[in-house]
């Protein structure tokens, strides 16, 4: 097992990885920008290295600085966390080339699944149903021909990235001609790759994802599905597991398809396969070859420490579980708490003047903030994750409501009031929602 792990990330996910390492007797190295010198992951790590100024491109995306920090501290391995370099195949390859172990998939699998076009092709080859669509397109006449074949409306998507960037809906040929260049320009600006492709657009789908763990030695399990349909501008807001839209037969069928494909690929580490679900059918859209922000709810219903398993697998150990070794029990919900105005969603960096996290049975808060901490303006606005587990969905909903009532963060705006409003909605209580439901509720969706 590793003696020292460098955590190439920040905030709550860096703290989450630190905790898993310490429970395994592994020392940690925190890297940080000058803006994060007082961050909690920096305070708690065994060693710290400043790797640059506030801008992410000069610090958390600075590969030479991260590798130098690993070298001078004598780290054995590097965990990329979530975001930043976590799906950068070049980074994974360089980590290994410099004599460190990369806690994640191989660079080849990151590259394969990181491009949505090649990921769909690989998924189809391994028996996973995919959304009808195209390969990468550059010519508008080709795009029009493909759209006619798929049928309008179509979704224009960036081939080299996600998070809603480089994504447009075209409902006819005219809007296709207008939106393809815009999507290409945005894709180039955010991902350095202007390639886009087309997919059939679904009006009322659910966003269902399946969490897997694989050791690259034939051991593969799934840890159930998560329903991530509550989204705003393609960004997840609240997740729950199991999905209220699926029955046991659908869950088991999807789990078998996914684990068979992952075993066939020879994949290792944690991963998440994402699907659109509508009218009883699943369509693969992408795979995230990293830890997910919403992984805690899968941990709550399974009892499996996903980060711990990532570390064990990277150390060459076989997966610590077989599918029959555990049962998925109860229901879990995660609320993403952002430093944003709850109505306008305007970012709200600044000093936290008071902080009180909820507690009690079945309540977990993953966060790196504290009273007196200044939320910097340079990074993602996620500051806390409220994770709640109950024996049933009804019990879980009541516990979420109670926990949100207890949650206090002052000095900055947060989305806690929005979540309090959300969980009171009859459609949400009944589990009757889709990926466009939240934007319709907020008054700026279709």
Active site residues: 290
3-state per-residue secondary structure call for 323-371 = HHHCCCCCEEEEEEEECECCCCCCECCEECCEEECCCCCCEEEEECCCC
Distances (CA, A) of 23 to 4, 18, 321: 13, 9, 18
CB-CB contact of 384 with 12 (8 Å): yes
- What is the three-class DSSP state of 410? strand
CB-CB contact of 145 with 155 (8 Å): no
Helical residues (DSSP H) of 352-436, grouped into ranges: 393-406, 416-422, 426-429
DSSP strand E in 80-195: where? 101-102, 154-158, 168-170
All residues at 6 or more sequence positions from 155 whose CB lies less than 8 Å from its CB, including other chains? 167, 168, 169, 170, 198, 199, 200, 201
Distances (CA, A) of 366 to 11, 157, 172, 242, 384: 10, 32, 44, 20, 6
Long-range CB contacts for residues 179-185, cutoff 8 Å, separation at least 24? 180/137, 180/140, 180/143, 180/156, 183/156, 183/157, 183/158
């Amino acid at each position: 097992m590793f003696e020292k792990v460098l955590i190439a990330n920040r905030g709550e996910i860096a703290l989450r990885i630190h905790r898993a390492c310490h429970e395994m007797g592994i020392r940690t190295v925190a890297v940080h920008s000058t803006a994060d010198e007082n961050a909690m992951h920096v305070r708690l790590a065994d060693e710290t290295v400043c790797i640059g100024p506030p801008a992410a491109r000069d610090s958390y995306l600075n590969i030479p600085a991260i590798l130098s920090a690993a070298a001078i501290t004598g780290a054995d391995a590097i965990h990329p966390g979530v975001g930043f370099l976590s799906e950068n195949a070049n980074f994974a390859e360089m980590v290994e080339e410099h004599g460190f172990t990369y806690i994640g998939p191989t660079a080849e699998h990151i590259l394969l699944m990181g491009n949505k076009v090649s990921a769909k092709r690989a998924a189809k080859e391994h028996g996973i149903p995919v959304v009808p669509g195209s390969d990468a397109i550059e010519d508008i006449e080709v795009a029009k021909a493909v759209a006619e074949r798929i049928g309008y409306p179509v979704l224009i998507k960036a081939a080299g990235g996600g998070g809603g960037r480089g994504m447009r809906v075209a409902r006819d040929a005219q809007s296709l001609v207008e939106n393809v260049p815009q999507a290409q320009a945005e894709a180039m600006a955010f991902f350095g790759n202007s390639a886009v492709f087309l997919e059939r657009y679904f009006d009322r789908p659910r966003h269902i994802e399946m969490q897997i763990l694989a050791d690259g030695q034939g051991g593969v399990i799934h840890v159930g599905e998560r329903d991530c349909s509550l989204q705003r501008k393609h960004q997840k807001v609240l997740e729950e597991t199991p999905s209220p839209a699926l029955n046991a037969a659908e869950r088991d069928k999807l789990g078998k398809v996914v684990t068979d494909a992952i075993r066939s690929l020879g994949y290792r580490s944690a991963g998440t396969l994402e699907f659109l679900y509508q009218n009883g059918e699943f369509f693969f859209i992408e795979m995230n070859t990293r830890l997910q922000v919403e992984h805690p709810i899968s941990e709550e219903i399974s009892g499996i420490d996903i980060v711990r398993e990532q570390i064990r697998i990277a150390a060459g150990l076989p997966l610590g579980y077989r599918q029959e070794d555990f049962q998925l029990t109860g229901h879990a919900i995660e609320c993403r708490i952002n430093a944003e105005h709850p109505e306008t969603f305007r970012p709200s960096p600044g000093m936290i003047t008071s902080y009180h996290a909820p507690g009690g049975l079945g309540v977990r808060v993953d966060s790196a903030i504290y009273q007196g901490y200044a939320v910097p303006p340079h990074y993602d606005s996620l500051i806390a994750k409220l994770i709640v587990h109950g024996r049933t969905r009804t019990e879980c909903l009541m516990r979420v409501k109670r926990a949100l009532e207890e949650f206090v963060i002052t000095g900055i705006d947060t989305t806690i009031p929005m979540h309090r409003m959300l969980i009171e909605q009859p459609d949400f209580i009944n589990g009757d929602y889709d990926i466009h439901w939240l934007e319709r509720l907020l008054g700026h969706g279709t």
